[in-house]
Amino acid sequence: MRKPLENVTARLDSWSLNPVAVTGVSGTRALLGFVGLMYYVSQYQERNYLFGPGGVLPHEEFKAQLTGFSLYTLSASPGYFQFVYHVGIAAALAVMLGVGGRPGLALHWALLWSVYQRQPGLLDGGDNLAYVVIPFLLLTRCYDRFALPTGLVSRLAERVPGRLRAVSVPFHNLGVLMVAVQICLVYVVSGLYKVMGEEWQDGTALFYIMRVAEFELPGWSSLVYENDVLVVLGTYGTVAFLVYFPLGVLVPALRPWAAAASICFHLSIAFFMGLTGFALTMIACDLVFLSDALDRAVLWARGRLPGARKPATAAPDEAAPDEAKPAEAARPGGESGTQTATPAAELV
């Protein structure tokens, strides 16, 4: 009886002291910022027609049919619209570059929600996941990696009491857990929903999907839907992958392979169906399962920079913390470094 209790205590201590998947969740933040920026920039030339107060959906009609909130309802002034739209671009760029911290991320979420609500006909499904995931990121240390250094953040962090900084670690792990659970729910619900469809049951769903005019890629889609073997394998393989993805990420040895398969799956969706925003949003969330691989990739890239010192004889993930991560000892969070190698089974 004592040994199981000791194991539970050890896991709770690890949960409270060791932030997990910091690199992965930082990649999630950066990529979600890029997706938001891409949405703003891609519609920039037609912004007045699509989102403006005198555009395709006039301001008063928009206010009448809106069920949530949007900053674009506060004024019908063209100048106000231009101001909010361009602030949204700046906020998305700041999130991508890692500037502004949690307040900037919260502002980006509010502005992104507002512009999505302004013209829902342009959405591809990735917006629903972004709505949910970005608030989870506010709990995490997603600005510890892939962020431009700012002295202001360091000075503010030094003023935070030590006890409050200690609480940030379990909150970070909770946020990572919520992102991981959310992406698993998306896969399972989507897979089970497909199982109920007749076309998915008889193996022909991919044939019909790739022939839809809005999603067909001329010259390429026909190579798939005209091949019976590819259609059947693609249809059944999609359902199997979606349903069993959570089981793959629960097994540490299979986790990177499941995440890599998911990334390839969504890259194919972006290529063949043109759902780029949706695909990149899903890939961003998959990065929480690839944190260790991202750490190794960063170390590999740093080792090949001009003037970089080669690490000691130990492997990158076996290097002594005092030697391998001197810069992390003084991170703004106050912790002595991030142990991203903590088993992610504790997260999911």
- Report DSSP letters for 51-92, one per residue: HSTTSSS-HHHHHHH--S--GGGS---HHHHHHHHHHHHHHH
Instruction: Report the amino acid identity of residue 55.
Output: G
The one-character DSSP state at 230 is H
Of residues 267 and 320, more confidence is placed in 267
- Amino acid letter for position 346: E
Predicted local confidence at residue 162, as pLDDT? 67
Distance CA 265, CA 144 (A): 28
Model pLDDT, residue 4: 60
Lowest model confidence (mean pLDDT) among 125-129, 158-162, 174-178, 231-235 = 158-162
Q: What percent of the chain has pLDDT over 70?
A: 79
Between 343 and 273, residue with greater pLDDT:
273
Residues with Cβ within 8 Å of 102's Cβ and at least 6 positions away in sequence, in order, are: 138, 143
**Alpha helix locations (H) across the chain?**
2-17, 22-42, 47-51, 59-65, 78-97, 101-118, 126-137, 151-158, 162-195, 198-202, 205-209, 221-225, 228-250, 255-273, 276-286, 291-303, 321-324
pLDDT band at 211 (very low <50, low <70, confident <90, very high): confident
State which amino acid sits at residue 130. Answer: A
Model confidence, pTM: 0.81
- pLDDT value at residue 328: 39
Task: Evaluate if residue 117 carries a pLDDT over 70.
Answer: yes
151, 191, 270, 273 from 235: Cα distances, Å: 51, 11, 17, 15
Computed over every residue of the chain, the mean pLDDT equals 82
Is residue 14 within 8 Å of residue 338, measured between CB atoms?
no
What per-residue confidence (pLDDT) applies to 295? 87
The span from the CA of 86 to the CA of 120, in Å, is: 19
